[in-house]
Amino acid sequence: MNAVLLLRVYIELQASMLIHTGTPDEQSWPGVANLPDYQTTFPRWKAQNLGKLLTRLDEEGVDILTV
C-alpha cells in the first residue's frame, strides 16, 4: 500500500469515527483543545446513538464504546 493511499484510509477512518461518536469539544472531553493536533476547524458532528447503529451489541457492549 503506498503512503498516499494509507493516509487516505487513515483520514477516512478518523472521519467515520467522528461522524458516529461526535466531534470532541471541551464539554465532552475536557482538555481536548490542548492536544497538539486538535484544531477548532475540524468538522463538527453530533454523536449518534450507537445502540441504533450497532444492533448486534447488547447494552454493555454499547456502553464500552461510548465511555
What does the pLDDT read at residue 18? 83
CA distance 17 to 12: 9
Q: What is the rounded distance in angstroms from the CA atom of residue 56 to the CA atom of residue 65?
A: 13
Residues 31-61 pLDDT 10s = 999 999 888 888 889 988 888 888 998 989 9
> Per residue in 3-37, pLDDT tens?
888 989 988 998 888 888 888 889 888 999 999 98
Q: Show Cβ contacts of residue 42 under 8 Å, excluding neighbours closer than 6 positions.
A: 18, 23
Position 31 scores a pLDDT of 95
pTM confidence score: 0.61
